[in-house]
Structure 1
Amino acid sequence: MTRDASSASRAQPGSGETDDEGGESSSDALVAAYRHDTHKLRGRAHENAAAEYAGVRVNEQVPLHADRDAALLSRPDGEPEVTVSNHRSPYRLSLVSGEQAVGDVGAGEIGAAVKALVSTADPGAAHEAWLESWVAAVFSESLFYPYTSLKYHTLLVAALVSNYRAGAGFEDLYLVVDSPDEAVTPHRTVLDTGPVSLRVTADPGDRPAATLGAGPTRSFADVWSRLPEHPGDADGCRAWRVLDAQLRRIRSWSTALQFIEDFLEWRGDAL
């Protein structure tokens, strides 16, 4: 599925005020993006999603089809199918360990962390909170696809909203390898962990970059393989070689981004 021309009605670059789909401000649209799957953070189905949680509006529709496009980056289109037998938990399965990412964290600790994450009202602060969040990383996007990551799905949604509102179409976007020593780009940095910082943008500048393609699909492995430079030293370090080899096979975007985070946490001392 690709973005059709009719869905590309966006605020012009620099306007940052209203959206043709609902008249939302930039801040409202981005906050809605960070809160749109709050029901999943609470282990609830879409049909049981509340309109308010922790005193704020949640589970609102994301403008400009950004949620749909981000979903297509990580999950197949159409009716979902069970991919892991006997897994009926909202908690993510780790590709690194094969275990549930939640570990032995208690429900009370999870609930408190979710409230703090969702309650963040400033869009820039919300972006940084999601980049650093451990609680969002324990949930999958879908019970049917337990290796996906709700954390990175949400960050991808926000990146698409930010780019679409600036006038870019999906076909204009790049995956960019940024320097981990530089500040993150609000809403467009989709991963910032240790030595790896990745951004989705229509303006790659002089950084190593590869286009995302004509339309949203599970293409991470292809895009990663087309990057002219990669983080780390795959030629001189076995751990980097293992990470790079796996990323050339993982198609789902949220799964791949989460794998980077998990792998670096596991093997960071070897890099």
Structure 2
Amino acid sequence: MIAVYRHDVHKMNGNSHASASKTFAGIPVNEIVPLGADGDASLLSRPSGQPEQTVENHKTPYRLSLITGESQYNHNQSTSNSAVCDLLNVGDPEIMHQAWLEDNIVSMFNESVYYPYTSLKYHTLLVSSLLDNYRVGHDFADLRLIVDPAGDITPHRTVYAGSQCTLRIDKDSGDRPASRLGSQPWRSWASAWGRLGAHPVDAAHDKYDMLLDANLHRIGAWSTALQYLEDFREAFE
């Protein structure tokens, strides 16, 4: 599973996979993810086919924030590179997964320069969750978005960890609130969020949660929505 977290390092430079280097600071990167997990995760946040630029004058690998509308460009590139090296150099897969959940460096980047509101951080976590499910025989149509208590982390399958809840992609939800992802991958975040049996936000009483919930009902791209959830909590908690 280590290779999954290193597979899209080339996107931090805006490079294609075909032209990407095989190493980053001596660390093997940009390897192919098996079982179609990378392609399926891409379809959760981006349309298929030939990409088109969706935001004029922003053809960079730096993510645009849905909170501020501003680029997440970090002028201290040397600090960013050092932090990325530390993140990629983790040797234990479960520790690597936890590090990505807590990361605030890779979250500066989008998963495609054509779709700058998407998030490389959450694309990678989605790839990890799909691959971990696929390799034990789960099909995409079996999978659910599951709400777990805060602090409850399932290695490689938890895709978001916040102060109020964690979100996991898995087959079995037990008695936890959950909604199916659907028969095939598509930009279905708003649909899945709207079908949860119980919501992890207090949209009935808290004005900030009302705003958060309303906007999460409008976002289709999974990596964009998960990054928005993280950014919103950081901005308003």
TM-score range, shorter chain: over 0.9
Which string of whole-angstrom CA distances, capped at 9 and with x for unpartnered residues, describes residues 20-58 of structure 1? xxxxxxxxxx11111100111344332331112222211
Is 2:46–2:187's contact at 8 Å kept on the other side of the alignment? yes
Which string of whole-angstrom CA distances, capped at 9 and with x for unpartnered residues, describes residues 82-109 of structure 1? 100011111000000000123x441111
Q: Determine whether 1:157 maps to 2:127.
A: yes
Is 2:55–2:116's contact at 8 Å kept on the other side of the alignment? yes
Deviates more, 1:227-236 or 1:68-77: 227-236
Q: C-alpha separation between the residues in 2 aligned to 1:61 and 1:235?
A: 44
Match of 2:29 in 1: 58
Q: Give the CA deviation at 1:117.
A: 1.1
Q: Give the secondary structure class of the aligned counterpart of 2:32.
A: coil
Q: Determine whether 1:36 maps to 2:11.
A: no
Number of residue-to-residue matches in the alignment: 237
Give 1:19-34 correspondences, 5 Å limit.
30-34=1-5
Is 1:41–1:114's contact at 8 Å kept on the other side of the alignment? no
Give 1:225-264 correspondences, 5 Å limit.
225-264=194-233
Q: Give the secondary structure class of the aligned counterpart of 2:159.
A: strand
Q: Determine whether 1:172 maps to 2:172.
A: no
Q: Give the secondary structure class of the aligned counterpart of 1:200.
A: strand
Query: What amino acid maps onto 1:131 in structure 2?
Result: L
TM-score normalized by the length of structure 1: 0.85
Query: What amino acid maps onto 1:224 in structure 2?
Result: W
Q: Give the secondary structure class of the aligned counterpart of 1:178.
A: strand
Query: What amino acid maps onto 2:142 in structure 1?
Result: D
Q: C-alpha separation between the residues in 2 aligned to 1:170 and 1:254?
A: 17
Deviates more, 1:153-162 or 1:108-117: 108-117
Q: Determine whether 1:81 maps to 2:52.
A: yes
Is 1:64–1:164's contact at 8 Å kept on the other side of the alignment? yes
Give 1:1-271 correspondences, 5 Å limit.
30-102=1-73, 104-180=74-150, 182-268=151-237
Q: C-alpha separation between the residues in 2 aligned to 1:194 and 1:88?
A: 33
Which string of whole-angstrom CA distances, capped at 9 and with x for unpartnered residues, describes residues 148-204 of structure 1? 000000000000010001110000000001100x43000000000221310000011
Which string of whole-angstrom CA distances, capped at 9 and with x for unpartnered residues, describes residues 51-78 of structure 1? 1222221100001000000000000000
Q: C-alpha separation between the residues in 2 aligned to 1:261 and 1:196?
A: 11
Is 1:49–1:59's contact at 8 Å kept on the other side of the alignment? yes
Which string of whole-angstrom CA distances, capped at 9 and with x for unpartnered residues, describes residues 209-245 of structure 1? 0000000000000000000111121101010010000
Q: Give the secondary structure class of the aligned counterpart of 2:5.
A: helix
Query: What amino acid maps onto 2:68 in structure 1?
Result: S
Structure label with greater radius of gyration: 1
Q: C-alpha separation between the residues in 2 aligned to 1:183 and 1:87?
A: 37
Is 1:95–1:259's contact at 8 Å kept on the other side of the alignment? yes
Runs of 4+ in 1 over 6 A off after TM superposition: none
Q: C-alpha separation between the residues in 1 aligned to 2:173 and 2:25?
A: 37
TM-score normalized by the length of structure 2: 0.97
Q: Give the CA deviation at 1:141.
A: 0.4
Is 1:175–1:200's contact at 8 Å kept on the other side of the alignment? yes
Alpha-carbon RMSD across the aligned residues, in angstroms, is 1.1
Q: Which runs of 5+ in 2 are unaligned?
A: none
